[in-house]
Copies of this chain bind each other. A is one copy, B any other.
Amino acid sequence: MSKQIRSNTVTTARAAVADKREAILRAAVKVFARKGFFNSKVADIAKEAGIADGTVYLYFKSKDEILHSVFDRAMEEFISEGKSEIADISEPDVKLQRIAQLHLERLSSDRDLAIVFQVELRGSTKFMEEFSGGGFAEYLDIIRQTIAEGQKKGIFREDLKPIVCAKILYGALDEMVTNWILSKKSYQLTPMADEVLKVFFNGTKK
């Protein structure tokens, strides 16, 4: 077997592995959203993914690891997309606007993922701590940095602590998502970003 062929084979195999991982994660999001993490059985996820129970353990160490991976994968995508989207924007306030919009767009485009993020991921202090120390801290920091940047540029009031402002913005957006998920009425989530920013900017800009 030539190196080339082997390489292709390996590549294909890797892709196949990645695909099945993805399939399991997608299935897990669906199941967790519907039943909650603790009430979801590994067997449910396997069935949803169309594989055998045992196969799940070829890709994940444990049920817990699946939840972690759901979070990691989504957060990674979330952050990298966010970063690339704001990379070309020079104005800090426009950056924040983009971040806020993306936040709501993304979660409203995948309701199951939103449910897992807003509800299931918060069901244990243990996870919350890991969550908080992981991607979430990075996400909050991007907001903080952008606000600090805006202060330097003279856009935002200097008497406000960037980290507090970041938490306020994040908290407000987070609450919009949670309310949207739990609401019995169906409405567009994304426009809420500008509603939040209207207040936030008014409260933080010079």
Number of copies: 4
Minimum Cβ distance to chain B for residue A100 (Å): 12
A15 at the interface (CB under 8 A from B): no
Instruction: List residues of chain B with CB within 8 A of the CB of A11.
Output: none
Whether A122 touches B125, Cβ cut-off 8 Å, given contacts A175-B170, A201-B203, is no
Instruction: List residues of chain B with CB within 8 A of the CB of A125.
Output: 33, 36, 115, 119-120, 181-182
A160 at the interface (CB under 8 A from B): yes
Minimum Cβ distance to chain B for residue A108 (Å): 15
* B199, A38: Cβ atoms closer than 8 Å: no
Instruction: List residues of chain B with CB within 8 A of the CB of A124.
Output: 36, 38-39, 119-120, 123
Main secondary structure of the interface of A (DSSP, over half): helix
Minimum Cβ distance to chain B for residue A66 (Å): 16
* B123, A182: Cβ atoms closer than 8 Å: no
Which listed residue, B126, B179, B192, B199, touches A160 by the CB 8 Å rule?
Answer: B199
* B182, A171: Cβ atoms closer than 8 Å: no
* A119, B115: Cβ atoms closer than 8 Å: no
The 7 A-B pairs at the shortest CB distance, nearest first, are namely A123-B123, A203-B203, A171-B175, A199-B203, A202-B203, A168-B172, A122-B122
